[in-house]
């Protein structure tokens, strides 16, 4: 019997078990960065179920903390780049930076542990995998909702390189997560019920692949010419008064260099409040838009009046020919980086983040209208940086928009995180959003990865990271709505809840 409190021999064994689980978590996180990461993670998860199965004689508390160790290893390996923003860029104390990353990893790992507890709570049977997958889906959904949400590093986005990507337009990323967990559980049980598991896995994989031939959106109008400008300015210079004019001049000159139907610069590319920008600059850009028939989308700092007085916003301003400016203010803000949670001002003051208390934009902002000569206008749903983590929110915005949405635009600045896997992680998130909505996407970033994505989430073109360059391409807008846009997470959450209720009734009966 495994007992964490009895004897040195047992304690040393248990330390080894915990180390093994944390290393396994790190390996699964790192596997996401491999070319077929979505496939590789599934058998690795099967190894997790095998390792946890060896702890069947320990207490529920010990089982919980063992699975928590796995989650901590997973998230520390996947979120270590937060240390760069806190310590290297923000100047926070080394130990406090490390502790912040560890505590956040522990918090999000908590949801993994709660899901794993279902293995112990329900009697083992042929439906155990369905109940575990349902628990995992609910845990991921709660992770997206509680305390403003932090659903980063889920198993859904890795499925852009995995077997279940084509399920996303039907039921979203959470459904992909459900199938990843269920499949890994069935692989773990191949020895006990080989025929049933093999047939079940083969059937699900076949249906998933066939689903990829179904399309809910279709090309709309003619392709548009686009330019995505990547400035590659270091974060330490972004808010340096001596460097701001250089950044503004670079983007203004680069915009003028070549016209296009749509020209986009990154999040806070103009790192200065809009009302304080030179009037001549905005007039210059509006005149260029008028004369060239180019639509411009600019990342800058907005200002709005709130109950607290005038507050800054993280804003995208659109300039279209002979039209009043369009504004989109970021709605889903980053805790500590863009707003200060109650009682945590001391933490924000421990590192240097200018303008870290933004006002929140409305959830009901209309898309950006892109004017075209002699053709119908197209409309783009905008997200700024972190917002493209929240697939349900984006789907709801598209569904409730008065104007039909034809493409997605994400403007971001990941210079905060240096040379890490953060840019590739967010690229996969954008790919998943394209899959869920059936719409192409544009990513305009400061340091990378600036990219053009197809309606199927595939990368059509991209710029190398950490280069100052401009990406010119043609993009085909799409029209229509996927089932996920219409229904959101309701179907997969309903299925998961019904399965868990059935599991509880069955558990009590037997």
Active site residues: 267, 330, 385
Distances from the Cα of 389 to the Cα of 78, 213, 304, 366, 410, angstroms: 15, 26, 25, 19, 11
Q: What Rg do the C-alpha atoms of the chain give, in angstroms?
A: 24
CB 477 within 8 A of CB 220: yes
Q: Which residues of 75-95 are buried (b: 16+ CB within 10 A; e: fewer)?
A: bbbbbbbbbbbbbbbbebeee
Sign of the CA dihedral 499, 501, 502, 506?
A: positive
The separation between CA 104 and the C-alpha centre of its own chain, rounded to angstroms, equals: 16
Q: Which residue has the tokens 């990368």?
A: 459
φ/ψ of residue 312, rounded to 5:
-80, 155
Beta carbons within 8 Å of 288's beta carbon, 6+ residues apart: 255, 256, 259, 294, 296
Helix axes 173-188, 490-509, angle to 10 degrees: 40
User: What are 285-290's contacts with CB under 8 Å, separation 24+?
Assistant: 285/252, 285/255, 285/319, 286/319, 286/325, 288/255, 288/256, 288/259, 289/319, 289/320, 289/321, 290/321, 290/322
Q: What angle do CA 45, 108, 49 make, to 5 degrees?
A: 20
Helices (H) and strands (E) in the chain, counts: 17, 15
User: CA-CA-CA-CA torsion for 51, 53, 57, 60, nearest 10 degrees?
Assistant: 90
Helix (H, G, I), strand (E, B) or coil at 32: coil
Q: Which two tokens stand for residue 400?
A: 């409730």
Q: Contact 25/72 with Cβ under 8 angstroms?
A: yes
Q: Phi and psi of 391, rounded to 5°? A: -65, -40
Report helix angle 194-211 to 173-188, nearest 10.
160
- Asked whether the beta carbons of 353 and 367 are under 8 A apart, the reply is no
């Amino acid at each position: 019997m495994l007992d964490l409190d009895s004897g040195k021999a047992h304690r040393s064994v248990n330390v080894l078990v915990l180390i093994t689980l944390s290393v396994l978590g790190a390996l699964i996180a790192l596997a996401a960065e491999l070319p077929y990461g979505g496939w590789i993670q599934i058998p690795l998860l099967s190894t997790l179920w095998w390792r946890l199965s060896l702890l069947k004689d320990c207490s529920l508390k010990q089982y919980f903390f063992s699975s928590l160790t796995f989650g901590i290893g997973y998230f520390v390996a996947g979120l270590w780049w937060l240390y760069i923003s806190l310590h290297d860029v923000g100047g926070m104390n080394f130990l406090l930076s490390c502790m912040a990353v560890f505590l956040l990893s522990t918090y999000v790992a908590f949801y993994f542990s709660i899901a794993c507890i279902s293995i112990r709570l329900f009697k083992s049977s042929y439906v155990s995998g369905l109940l575990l997958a349902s628990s995992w889906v609910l845990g991921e959904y709660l992770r997206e909702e509680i305390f403003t949400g932090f659903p980063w590093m889920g198993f859904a986005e890795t499925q852009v390189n995995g077997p279940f990507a084509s399920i996303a337009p039907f039921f979203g990323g959470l459904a992909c997560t459900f199938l990843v967990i269920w499949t890994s559980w069935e692989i773990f049980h191949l020895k006990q019920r080989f025929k049933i598991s093999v047939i079940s896995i083969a059937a699900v994989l076949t249906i998933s692949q066939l689903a990829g031939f179904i399309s809910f959106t279709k090309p709309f109008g003619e392709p548009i010419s686009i330019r995505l400008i990547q400035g590659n300015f270091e974060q330490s210079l972004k808010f340096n008064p001596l460097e701001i004019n250089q950044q503004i001049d670079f983007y203004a000159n680069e915009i003028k260099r070549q016209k296009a139907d749509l020209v986009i610069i990154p999040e806070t590319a103009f790192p200065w409040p809009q009302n304080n920008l030179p009037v001549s600059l905005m007039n210059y850009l509006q005149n260029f838009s008028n004369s060239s028939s180019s639509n411009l989308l600019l990342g800058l700092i907005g200002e709005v009046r709130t109950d607290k007085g005038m507050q800054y916003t993280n804003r995208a301003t659109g300039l279209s020919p002979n039209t009043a400016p369009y504004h989109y203010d970021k709605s889903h803000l980053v805790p500590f980086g863009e707003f200060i949670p109650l009682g945590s001002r001391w933490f924000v003051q421990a590192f240097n983040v200018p303008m870290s208390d933004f006002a929140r934009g409305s959830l009901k902002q209309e898309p950006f209208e892109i004017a075209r000569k002699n053709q119908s206008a197209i409309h783009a749903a905008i997200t700024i940086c972190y917002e493209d983590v929240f697939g349900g929110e984006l789907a709801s915005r598209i569904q409730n928009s008065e104007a039909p949405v034809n493409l997605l635009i994400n403007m971001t600045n990941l210079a905060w995180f240096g040379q890490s896997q953060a840019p590739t992680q967010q690229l996969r998130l954008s790919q998943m959003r394209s899959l869920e909505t059936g719409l192409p996407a544009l990513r305009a970033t400061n340091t990378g990865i600036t990219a053009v994505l197809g309606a199927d989430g595939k990368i059509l073109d991209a710029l190398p990271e950490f280069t100052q360059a401009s990406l010119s391409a043609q993009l085909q807008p799409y029209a229509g709505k996927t089932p996920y846009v219409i229904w959101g997470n309701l179907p997969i959450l309903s299925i998961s809840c019904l399965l868990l209720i059935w599991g509880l009734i069955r558990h009590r009966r037997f």
